[in-house]
Structure 1
Amino acid sequence: MTRQNVRTLVTDEREQLLDGKDGIEAAVVTRPNRAQAVAVGLLALGDVDGASDWFRALTEEWPIYANSKWDSKYEEEPRSPASPGPWSDYVDGLFAALLARQNVEDTTETVYARTTEPFVDELDKREFAHRIDLARSLSSVVLDNDTAEQHLETLEQNVAEHGSDWDRARYDAYTRFVRGLLTDSKSDVLAGIEGLLEFHRDHVASARDADPVQKAVALDATAMLALARCKGMSITVDHEAIPDALNDDEYYPVEG
């Protein structure tokens, strides 16, 4: 039933997004959230090539979409609070690049530059914007700079002092995963992914407003498996909430 629900959602959304549009690149413009459901759903259904077409388009659109929000919130004084902000959109752009295996470095440089602008840490409600620290940590790892641990410590502190149980379930798993990459610890990387799978089970798949793709695929865990393999870690994770293609060297080869 779940697979059929995913197929139905993907078919309907893809048809609506493409209606009157000249290809996928045009279809995703200003509608990356809906297009992401199509891309992730296709990956779950085993249509890796089809998913890649949508992820590649999203790799271009997510930063544009996020930058538009950025400009409206932070280009001029007075600046809007840090939370909510465009940070989740930047993270989704990084996920799309990792899953497309395209423009990863360029996308990551945009994410890192935006989230580390000097004024960001002075914004109102900064301590509640955990996605800033996550985006900084993940992009630091991708770019191989030496700031990831610093950003992880800030994430841990802000989540411990200001986070909910939901935040702790998600970001503690991310912290363990990133530290595992930094120390080349497969056990910690796998434990972090397992924590993200548990977060998906307890907080995403069970949510009343989750769509079939969100219920079926643990996007956080899936993207982190792609990142681990991209960074040269030879691991596989056999789990129903992670598409099989992520463990396949044909599609997501271990690099490095």
Structure 2
Amino acid sequence: MRVYKGIGSMTREPVARIEANGLTKHFAGIAAVDDVSFTVEPGSVTGFLGPNGAGKTTTLRMLLGLVRADRGWATIGGVEYRDLPAPLEVVGAALESTGFHPSRTGLDHLRIYTSAAALPASRAAAAIEAVGLSKARNRRVGAYSLGMRQRLALATALLGDPAVLILDEPANGLDPEGIVWLRSFLREYAATGRTVLVSSHVLTEMQQLVDRVVILHRGRVVQQATLAELAGTHGDLETAFFELTTGQEARR
């Protein structure tokens, strides 16, 4: 049974490569992101990994035009985010599961977004069904659990039926069943030819979800490889992560 069936009537090919080239950003004279370059290919799930403070969130915000780079550039489908004519139909992003009005229902939250973006109103119901919140669609968001808010954030990102998903810690707050559901959802989303970039600290889950990884450490890319390539040089993702970011093997 397919997890993702689409919520729109996409007529274009849903192909959009993410490219970052030399992204650099300083805060108070300190390089948070230093000459970061990588690509995320369509039809794949890429894990964006690194310790706290590695520069992941700043990089994601530069991809989405929320932070201006000091140097370098980033494109999605060959175009900078700020120049996309219909950004929500190209990129769906969920960088946090906050910002919801607690008195609105989940469905009303999505309806407001479809109205603001001039998207078909039917997308709200389709998106909330796609993330498994149909039974809670008329419940106020203030009564949602953290995991339900994560699903609502994903539903918001899906409203434009985008070619690209960029998600920051999407499994945070999900129970084991929800994590398995999310894994299947994202892999099937990528299987339709779309591009998925996921930032996470949960290495064991990334091992089961992603096709390739980009690992940051102290603002720089220290590895960009497929899981198969990592297996050949380090054994597994967890071992690779610790060796690349601490110089030590993971403790068993």
The normalised TM-score by structure 2 is: 0.32
Instruction: Using structure 1 for the length normalisation, give the TM-score.
Output: 0.32
The structure with the greater share of residues assigned to strand is 2
